[in-house]
């Protein structure tokens, strides 16, 4: 991929507890193993946990960028897995919703980011609050993670509905997590697709892949390492690798679409549409 045109994608969900952040971390790791340069932004700003999954404690996070005039290069944290993270803070009420000034700070900070990256992965919070919608509106691709649980399916549909009806977003990528097998993953996908076809005209859903239930995932979470690193041949890792291979085929359609600074400018100007 041309380094001037990085792919910016969100990993998002309607419901919490579907493994979204774990998918984000392992996707960042897998793309790095494929030779890509990756930055992972923890955009669950008030309940950050990317650093927890990695067993790391960065000295600085986005709170310092917004409130203590910290430079982006100090906030960016290099992991031992080859990708960098932009960590957020946890349990800080000031970070729950970004104000316009903070958005401007983030835009200014991005001017100092090394443009030689291939992927910016935005790990959003769950649900349909302002921050979730805000980040999902600005990315080029949206990877919606869901599980076979009925509540996960319902909440994924709700997220898609809000983004479609109120903001005109029509294309979504789907990853089904914690399933027994491919057949179950397709059944979950078909249920979601049927609901969208019936109630939301013009929505396009693409099944990117599925991650099977795998005891190695829980072991890796407890050990605080990416399961694709600790157990690269386990079923969950193989499923994630297949999804990552599909993701590498996605290309920005224009230089504007693929420009990171344009992503942040677009992010800033979403404010009125989200409010």
Q: What is the pLDDT along the chain (275 residues), one digit of tens a residue?
A: 444 567 889 999 999 999 999 999 999 999 999 999 999 999 888 777 899 999 999 999 888 877 777 888 888 999 999 999 999 876 555 555 667 677 666 666 665 565 678 999 999 999 998 889 988 987 889 999 999 999 999 999 999 999 999 999 999 999 999 999 999 999 999 999 999 999 999 999 999 999 999 999 999 999 999 999 999 999 999 999 999 999 999 976 555 554 566 666 666 666 555 55
pTM here is 0.91
What is the pLDDT, as a whole number, of residue 33? 98
Q: Is residue 131 a contact partner of residue 98, using CB atoms and an 8 Å limit?
A: yes
Alpha helices in the chain (DSSP H): 20-33, 50-53, 62-67, 72-75, 100-110, 130-138, 150-167, 182-199, 215-223, 227-230, 235-247, 260-268, 271-274
| Burial 251-265, CB ≥16 within 10 A → b, else e | ebeeeeebbbebbbe
Q: How far apart, in whole angstroms, are the C-alpha atoms of residue 71 and residue 204?
A: 39
What is the pLDDT, as a whole number, of residue 71? 80
**Could you tell me which of 240, 35, 22 has the C-alpha nearest to residue 119?**
35
What is the pLDDT, as a whole number, of residue 253? 55
Q: Is residue 197 a contact partner of residue 161, using CB atoms and an 8 Å limit?
A: no
């Amino acid at each position: 991929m041309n380094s001037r045109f990085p792919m910016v994608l969100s990993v998002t969900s309607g419901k919490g507890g579907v493994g979204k952040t774990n998918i984000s971390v392992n996707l960042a790791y897998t793309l790095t193993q494929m030779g890509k340069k990756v930055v992972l932004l923890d955009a669950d700003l008030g309940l950050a946990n990317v650093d927890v999954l990695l067993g790391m404690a960065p000295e600085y996070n986005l709170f310092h960028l917004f409130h203590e005039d910290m430079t982006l290069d100090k906030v960016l944290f290099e992991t031992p897995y080859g990708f960098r993270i932009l960590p957020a803070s946890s349990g800080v009420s000031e970070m729950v919703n970004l104000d316009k000034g903070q958005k401007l700070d983030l835009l200014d900070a991005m001017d100092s980011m090394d443009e030689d990256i291939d992927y910016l992965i935005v790990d959003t919070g769950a649900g349909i609050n302002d921050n979730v919608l805000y980040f999902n509106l600005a990315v080029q691709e949206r990877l919606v993670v869901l599980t076979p649980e009925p509540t996960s399916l319902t909440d994924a549909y709700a997220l898609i509905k809000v983004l479609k009806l109120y903001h005109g977003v029509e294309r979504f990528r789907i990853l089904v997590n914690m399933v027994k097998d491919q057949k179950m993953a397709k059944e979950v996908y078909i249920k979601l697709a049927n609901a969208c076809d019936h109630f939301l005209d013009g929505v396009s859903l693409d099944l990117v892949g599925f991650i099977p239930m795998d005891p190695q995932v829980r072991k890796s979470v407890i050990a605080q390492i990416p399961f694709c690193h600790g157990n690269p041949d386990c079923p969950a890792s193989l499923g994630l690798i297949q999804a990552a291979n599909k993701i590498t085929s996605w290309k920005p359609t224009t230089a504007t679409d693929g420009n990171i600074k344009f992503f942040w400018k677009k992010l800033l100007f979403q404010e009125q549409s989200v409010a």
